[in-house]
């Protein structure tokens, strides 16, 4: 009887150890921010994800902005896009985002109803990022983005090691220009943004965006 109890206890112990080992190897750990499931995309773009930012605008005023992925739709060419809802203090804005293994493209609302407008994108990212890579963001002359380097970025949400620093420039033409600096952490998203855009007037959201919190799991 005693031998049977001992044998049963040994089997239980082995089973618990095996279960613990499976639990450990099934998760990928980010050294900065705890466990991150291996299913999170390089550039997160799934319904239910959200990011909270603090924006200090060019006048020194501060507001909180929530970016949420709320639904899906189709472009005129049949590509599926996710709805990114930007909730500012007094209004909301919407962009539509298509992602694949090579590109993440942010479309304006009017691209949903007219294929001719699909070329006038808000932003394009060539992924995965590599330092020194350069691409054209839209049809506008000279609108280019370059991956400058990787560096540590401290924001309200924490310290993000080896974030990619992107420089987007569109030289002045027809009363519009862009000079944006973007810091991106893979599997998290944009952690910091210095937006300086002008299109017949200062663009909404100009200033420094800083990530406060995020949910991409």
Domain residues of the chain, as ranges?
A: 2-215
Fold for the domain defined by 2-215 = YmcC-like fold (2.40.360)
34-47 confidence digits (pLDDT tens)? 333 346 899 999 99
pTM reported for the whole predicted model: 0.81
At 23, is the secondary structure helix, strand, or coil?
helix
In the predicted structure, residue 19 carries a pLDDT above the cut 60: no
pLDDT at 188: 98
- Per the structure block, which two tokens stand in for 66? 């929530």
Average pLDDT of the chain, as a whole number: 85
52-102 confidence digits (pLDDT tens)? 999 999 999 999 999 999 999 999 999 999 999 999 999 999 999 999 999
Alpha-carbon span 102 to 122, nearest angstrom: 17
Is the CB of residue 196 less than 8 Å from the CB of residue 179?
yes
At 12, is the secondary structure helix, strand, or coil?
helix
In the predicted structure, residue 162 carries a pLDDT above the cut 90: yes
167-205 confidence digits (pLDDT tens)? 999 998 888 999 999 999 999 999 999 999 999 999 999
In the predicted structure, residue 22 carries a pLDDT above the cut 70: no
Output the CA–CA distances (angstroms, integers) from residue 72 to 82, 83, 85, 93, 216, in the order listed: 4, 6, 11, 16, 17
pLDDT at 38: 43
At 157, is the secondary structure helix, strand, or coil?
coil
In the predicted structure, residue 30 carries a pLDDT above the cut 90: no
16's CB contacts (< 8 A; 6+ apart) are none
């Amino acid at each position: 009887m005693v031998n049977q109890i001992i044998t049963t206890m040994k089997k239980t112990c082995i089973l618990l150890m095996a279960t613990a080992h499976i639990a450990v190897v099934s998760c990928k750990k980010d050294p900065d921010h705890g466990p991150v499931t291996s299913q999170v995309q390089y550039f997160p773009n799934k319904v239910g994800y959200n990011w909270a930012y603090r924006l200090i605008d060019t006048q020194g005023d501060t507001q909180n902005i929530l970016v949420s992925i709320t639904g899906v739709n189709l472009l005129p060419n049949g590509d599926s896009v996710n709805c990114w809802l930007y909730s500012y203090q007094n209004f909301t804005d919407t962009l539509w985002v298509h992602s694949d293994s090579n590109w993440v493209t942010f479309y304006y609302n009017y691209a949903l109803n007219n294929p001719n407008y699909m070329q006038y994108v808000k932003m394009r990212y060539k992924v995965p990022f590599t330092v020194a890579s350069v691409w054209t963001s839209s049809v506008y002359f000279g609108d280019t983005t370059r991956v400058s380097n990787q560096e540590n970025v401290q924001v309200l949400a924490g310290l993000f090691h080896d974030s990619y620093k992107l420089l987007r420039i569109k030289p002045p033409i027809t009363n519009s220009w862009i000079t944006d600096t973007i810091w991106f952490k893979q599997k998290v998203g944009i952690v910091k943004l210095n937006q300086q855009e002008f299109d017949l007037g200062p663009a909404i959201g100009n200033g420094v965006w800083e990530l406060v919190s995020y949910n991409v799991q």
